[in-house]
Amino acid sequence: MSTIFLLQAKSSMKDLYLVIWSIVIPITALLSLAHFFPNYLSYSLAGIIAVSLMFYAFVTFSFTALSQRRRGVYDLLHATPMPLYQYILSISIANALVAVAVSSFVLMIGLFISDVSNSIMGIVLSLPVLFVSAVMYLFLSFIVSSIVKTEGHLSMTTNLIMLPMILGSSAFYSLSDAHAIVQWLQVLNPFEWFLSGIRAAFTMDFALWGQSLLFLFIFFSLFFVGSIKTFSYGRR
Partner 1 sequence: MNVLIQATGLRKAFRERQVVKDVTLEIKEGEVIALMGPNGAGKSTIIGMLLDTIRVDAGEITYWRSDFKRATGIQLQSTPFFEGYTVLENVKLFASIYGVKVSESEIQQQLEAYQLEEMKKVIASKLSIGQQKRLAIALATLHNPKLVFLDEPSAGLDPKGQKKIRRLIEYLKEKNVTVVFASHDMLEVNHIADRLMFINAGELVANGTPCELYKRYGVETMEDLYDKVNHHEGDER
Q: Which is nearer to partner 1, 50 or 66 (CB)?
A: 66
How far apart (Å, rounded) are the C-alpha atoms in residues 129 and 54? 12
Q: Which is nearer to partner 1, 73 or 124 (CB)?
A: 73
* Least gap, CB of 192 to partner 1 (angstroms): 33
Q: Which is nearer to partner 1, 82 or 108 (CB)?
A: 82
Q: Which is nearer to partner 1, 193 or 231 (CB)?
A: 231
Pick from 163, 175, 204: nearest CA to 51: 163
3-class SS letters over 91-142: HHHHHHHHHHHHHHHHHHHHHHHCCCCCCHHHHHHHHHHHHHHHHHHHHHHH
How far apart (Å, rounded) are the C-alpha atoms in residues 206 and 201? 7
CA-angle at 46, arms to 203 and 213, nearest 5°: 65
* Least gap, CB of 19 to partner 1 (angstroms): 14
* Least gap, CB of 78 to partner 1 (angstroms): 4
How far apart (Å, rounded) are the C-alpha atoms in residues 69 and 233? 7
* Least gap, CB of 114 to partner 1 (angstroms): 35
* Least gap, CB of 1 to partner 1 (angstroms): 7
Q: Give contact residues for partner 1 (rule: CB under 8 A).
A: 1-4, 7, 10-11, 14-15, 64, 67-68, 71-73, 75-82, 233-234
Q: Which is nearer to partner 1, 15 or 205 (CB)?
A: 15
